[in-house]
Amino acid sequence: MAIIIDENKKIFKLDAKDSSYLMQVSKQGYLYHVYYGAHVSDNDLDHILQLTGGASFSPSPADAPELSLDMLLLEYPGTGTGDFRVPALTVKDTRGASAVCLRYVSHKVIEGKPALPGLPAVYLNENSEAQTLEISMEDALLGLKAKLYYCVFEELNVITRWVQLENGSAENLTIDRAMSACVEFLTADYDMLGLYGSWARERTVERVALRHGTQALQSRRGSSSHQMNPFTALCARDATEDRGEVFGFNLVYSGSYLIEAEVSQMDSARLVLGINPYDFEWELEPGDVFTTPEAVLVYSSEGLGGMSRTFHKLYRKNLCRGQWRDKKRPILINNWEATYFKFNADKLVAIAHEAAKVGIEMLVMDDGWFGKRDDDHSGLGDWKVNEAKLGCTLRELVERVKAEGLRFGIWFEPEMISPDSDLYRAHPDWCLHIPGRPGTLGRNQLVLDLSKTAVQEYLVESLSAVLHSADISYVKWDFNRNMTEANNPDLPAAKSREIWHRYYLGLYKVLEEITSQFPQILFESCSGGGGRFDPGMLYYMPQTWCSDDTDAVERLKIQYGTSMVYPVNSIGAHVSAVPNHQTMRTTPFQFRGDVALMGTFGYELDITKLPEEDLDMIEDQVEKFHDYHPLIFHGDFYRLINPFEGNEAAWMFVSEDKSEALVQCFLVQNRPNAPARRVKLRGLDPEMRYKVEELGVRMHGDSLMNAGFIIPDMWVCGDYQSVCLTVKRV
Ligand code: DGJ
Neighbours of 688 (CB within 10 A): 16
Q: Which has more confidence, 66 or 160?
A: 160
Q: Provide the pairing of β-strand 602-604 with 575-576.
A: parallel
| Spatial contact of 499 and 485, defined as CB atoms under 8 Å apart | no
Calculate how far, in angstroms, residue 394's C-alpha sits from the geometric centre of ligand 1. Answer: 20
Q: Taking Cα atoms as reference points, which of 51, 60, 83, 68 lies closest to residue 186?
A: 51
Is 0.85 surpassed by the pTM of this model? yes
Query: Among the residues of 635-708, which ranges form H helices?
Result: 701-706
H-helix or E-strand containing 507?
Answer: helix 499-517
- Nearest CA owner, ligand 1 atom 2: 528
How far apart are the C-alpha atoms of 504 and 540, rounded to whole Å?
13
Q: Is 526 in the pocket of ligand 1 (CB under 6 A)?
A: yes
* Nearest ligand 1 atom to alpha carbon 604: 5
Calculate how far, in angstroms, residue 603's C-alpha sits from the geometric centre of ligand 1. Answer: 14
3 state DSSP class of 284: strand
| Spatial contact of 551 and 580, defined as CB atoms under 8 Å apart | yes
- Nearest CA owner, ligand 1 atom 9: 528
Q: What is the mean pLDDT of residues 586-609?
A: 97
How far apart are the C-alpha atoms of 237 and 657, rounded to whole Å?
32
Q: Is 294 in the pocket of ligand 1 (CB under 6 A)?
A: no
Is the torsion defined by CA of 693, 699, 702, 708 positive or negative?
negative
pLDDT at 50: 63
H-helix or E-strand containing 552?
Answer: helix 552-562
CATH code for the structural domain at 3-318: 2.70.98.60
* Nearest ligand 1 atom to alpha carbon 548: 3
The domain made up of 641-729 has a fold known as Immunoglobulin-like (2.60.40)
pLDDT at 47: 65
Tens digit of each residue's pLDDT (9 = 90 or more) over 252-296: 999 999 999 999 999 999 999 999 999 999 999 999 999 999 999
The domain made up of 332-634 has a fold known as TIM Barrel (3.20.20)
- Ligand 1 pocket: which of 480, 543, 574, 580 to mutate (most atoms within 8 A of CB): 480
Give backbone dihedrals phi and psi of 616, rounded to 5 degrees, phi first.
Answer: -60, -40
Q: Taking Cα atoms as reference points, which of 382, 385, 380, 383 lies closest to residue 445?
A: 380
| Spatial contact of 693 and 670, defined as CB atoms under 8 Å apart | no
Calculate how far, in angstroms, residue 340's C-alpha sits from the geometric centre of ligand 1. Answer: 9
Beta bridge partners of 165: 146, 290
Q: How many residues does the chain have?
A: 730
One-letter amino acid of 325: R
Burial of residue 376 (number of CB atoms within 10 Å: 0-12, 13-18, 19+) = middle
Calculate how far, in angstroms, residue 487's C-alpha sits from the geometric centre of ligand 1. Answer: 26
How far apart are the C-alpha atoms of 257 and 236, rounded to whole Å?
24
Spans of all domains in the chain: 3-318, 332-634, 641-729
Q: Taking Cα atoms as reference points, which of 340, 342, 350, 328 lies closest to residue 400?
A: 350
- Ligand 1 pocket: which of 526, 582, 605 to mutate (most atoms within 8 A of CB): 526
Tens digit of each residue's pLDDT (9 = 90 or more) over 485-500: 999 999 999 999 999 9
Band (52; pLDDT cuts 50, 70, 90): low
Quote the strand ranges of 75-209, DSSP E: 89-92, 103-111, 130-139, 144-153, 158-167, 173-185, 190-196, 204-209
pLDDT at 712: 78
Helix, strand, coil proportions of the chain in percent (round to 5)? 25, 30, 45
* Nearest ligand 1 atom to alpha carbon 366: 7
Q: Percent of the chain beyond pLDDT 70?
A: 99
Q: Is 199 in the pocket of ligand 1 (CB under 6 A)?
A: no
Calculate how far, in angstroms, residue 337's C-alpha sits from the geometric centre of ligand 1. Answer: 9
Radius of gyration of the chain (CA): 27
Q: Is 602 in the pocket of ligand 1 (CB under 6 A)?
A: no
Q: Is 416 in the pocket of ligand 1 (CB under 6 A)?
A: no
How far apart are the C-alpha atoms of 205 and 564, rounded to whole Å?
9
Q: Are the folds of 3-318 and 332-634 the same?
A: no
How much is the mean pLDDT over the chain?
96
Q: Is 604 in the pocket of ligand 1 (CB under 6 A)?
A: no
- Nearest CA owner, ligand 1 atom 11: 367
* Nearest ligand 1 atom to alpha carbon 527: 3
Neighbours of 715 (CB within 10 A): 18
Q: Taking Cα atoms as reference points, which of 718, 603, 561 lies closest to residue 201?
A: 561
Q: Taking Cα atoms as reference points, which of 184, 226, 220, 221 lies closest to residue 203?
A: 226
- Ligand 1 pocket: which of 336, 475, 532 to mutate (most atoms within 8 A of CB): 336
Q: What is the mean pLDDT of residues 101-120?
A: 98
One-letter amino acid of 305: G
Q: Is 545 in the pocket of ligand 1 (CB under 6 A)?
A: yes
Active centre residues (catalytic): 478, 548
* Biggest CA pair distance of the chain: 82
Q: Is 529 in the pocket of ligand 1 (CB under 6 A)?
A: yes
Q: Is 548 in the pocket of ligand 1 (CB under 6 A)?
A: yes
Burial of residue 7 (number of CB atoms within 10 Å: 0-12, 13-18, 19+) = exposed
Calculate how far, in angstroms, residue 318's C-alpha sits from the geometric centre of ligand 1. Answer: 28
Q: What is the mean pLDDT of residues 453-464?
A: 98
Q: What is the mean pLDDT of residues 22-35?
A: 94
- Nearest CA owner, ligand 1 atom 1: 528
Q: Is 480 in the pocket of ligand 1 (CB under 6 A)?
A: yes
Least confident of 40-49, 398-407, 543-552: 40-49
One-letter amino acid of 586: T
Q: What is the mean pLDDT of residues 642-648?
A: 95
Cis peptide before 579 (omega within 30 of 0): yes
How far apart are the C-alpha atoms of 3 and 12, rounded to whole Å?
7
pLDDT at 51: 62
- Ligand 1 pocket: which of 343, 411, 543, 546 to mutate (most atoms within 8 A of CB): 411
Q: Is 411 in the pocket of ligand 1 (CB under 6 A)?
A: yes
Q: Is 370 in the pocket of ligand 1 (CB under 6 A)?
A: no
Calculate how far, in angstroms, residue 455's C-alpha sits from the geometric centre of ligand 1. Answer: 23
pLDDT at 714: 76
Q: Is 478 in the pocket of ligand 1 (CB under 6 A)?
A: yes
Calculate how far, in angstroms, residue 545's C-alpha sits from the geometric centre of ligand 1. Answer: 9
The pLDDT of residue 49 is above 70: no
Give backbone dihedrals phi and psi of 408, rounded to 5 degrees, phi first.
Answer: -125, 135
Least confident of 58-72, 151-165, 274-288: 58-72
Residues 6+ apart with CB under 8 A from 549: 200, 201, 202, 529, 555, 558, 582, 583
Tens digit of each residue's pLDDT (9 = 90 or more) over 294-318: 999 999 999 999 999 999 999 999 9
